[in-house]
Amino acid sequence: MAGDVKVAVVSGTLSVSSGGSADFTKSSFGTPKACIVLVGRDDNDGTGVKAESRQSIGFSDFTNDYCITHQDEDASAKVDCDALKSATKCYYIMNANASVNFSGTASIITDGVRLTHATGEVSLGEFTTVIMFGGADLAVDLRSSAINSSQDGTASITHSGFTDGNDKLIFFIGSDISGEDSASTGINNSFGVCHATGSDSGGWTLVQRCFGFSSDHGNASGRPQSIMSTDRVLDILTEVGGQDWGLEVTALSNSGGTWTVTTRDNGSGAGMEVYSLALDLDDRSAKVGSVDSPTSGATWVPSVSLGFTPQYVGLGVNDLPTEDTINTTSNASPLGISSNTGSGEETCHSWYNHSAAITDTNNLFRSRAIDLRNSNVSTVVQDHSHSSFDSGGWTYTINTENETSAKKWFYWTIEEAAAVGPPPTISLVMAPYIPA
């Protein structure tokens, strides 16, 4: 059947042994074709935050594994922070000294994904989210691409196996690090997504969102910086809160098999590899956009008009009051990624850097659609549970809400899978009996 595109959000804990593995499955899902892997440093679920800000965001198509990651040490008199991008692992957690704590790769198992430690050992099982993409009609393409070094220079990202006219979602991760699989001091990381709809002949509409975040290594206070951008898939900030370089998807050609990306902002991306996971959704729709966080009420029904009922909703959540503006105050932290495919399939990973004389950093995992604290994690700002996916949007139950003014979040969604129709009706017509 057309429209067989499936998404599942599966959470659990990693293995605690070097070389050990953990399985993330959903009954009857089938064989996944790609996944996004989110790993923090929290071994609790709903019982409080974990000191140290460490978050890995990775992609895998079970042949290639890529990720970006950071560590931001807690209780340091001066900021001690590092970032890393990997072309060999889909998750990677660093110690405070920037050496590997643990890292690993993904493989396919029946109805799911197996994450296996390639290096390192976990003292306690860390909560992890695997967002699985599958279905007979889904096409995926995962790439590592070097970008040009000049401002407003273009680079092409090759893709294959896609159909002209189908909606596409393309996820991006990047960091301001020239060397792969080695750490660099300071944090300059970004995560984003682009929705492409249209055709080669009629033209493509490209809608993109991202957040970028940085931390100033060696500074006397937390000094976090962040931005939510409406015209970038990556927005790389300097350690002192300026725009370094960004990436915008500016063209798509199915006949040529390329995405065209253009470097933006002030700096160059010389020698910078970016990682992109592209999904071709057959006849399923997708959407990317901005949404205001709620400030009151028992439920959150966002002011969006998707034009379809989603099966999956992702959110980039934060405490930023405006879009496209770098924030260097306490609003620069927190940041988080919400993933939701229904009741019991909802998680939120968030990370925190409180701007204080002694660096105060934290990490949080929660089996909720949203769990966002203030920068020093003393107050639950938003706590939401999945309620329903609706025609044109979604509804979340607000368990706790302590927000006085709306913040700017971004979302990405995929339409529910096509319904399986009833079996065909077979009519039997009996011929009349005529004696010989």
Encoding tokens for residue 1? Answer: 């059947």
| pLDDT value, residue 48 | 85
In what helix (H) or strand (E) does residue 361 lie, and over which residues does it extend? Answer: strand 360-366
The Cα–Cα gap between 217 and 96 comes to 12
| pLDDT value, residue 266 | 76
Collapse the DSSP code of 331 into the 3-class scheme (helix H, G, I; strand E, B; otherwise coil) and give the result: helix
Collapse the DSSP code of 10 into the 3-class scheme (helix H, G, I; strand E, B; otherwise coil) and give the result: strand
**Residue 278 CA: distances (Å) to CA of 35, 67, 112, 139:** 11, 15, 19, 8
Q: If 0-12 CB within 10 Å is exposed, 13-18 middle and 19+ buried, where does residue 152 land?
A: exposed
**Residue 321 CA: distances (Å) to CA of 235, 327, 332:** 17, 9, 10
User: Which residues of the chain are under the pLDDT cut of 50?
Assistant: 424, 426, 428-430, 433, 436
Q: If 0-12 CB within 10 Å is exposed, 13-18 middle and 19+ buried, where does residue 241 land?
A: middle
List the chain domain ranges. 6-415
What values do phi and psi take at 347, rounded to 5? -145, 155
CA geometry: angle 374, 377, 381, nearest 5 deg? 40
The Cα–Cα gap between 350 and 45 comes to 12
The Cα–Cα gap between 54 and 127 comes to 12
| pLDDT value, residue 221 | 87
Q: What is the DSSP string of 362-390?
A: EEEEESSSEEEE-TTS-SEEEEEEEEEEE
| pLDDT value, residue 49 | 94
Q: Which residue in 396, 362, 367, 395 sits closest to 379, CA to CA?
A: 362
The whole model's pTM is what?
0.95
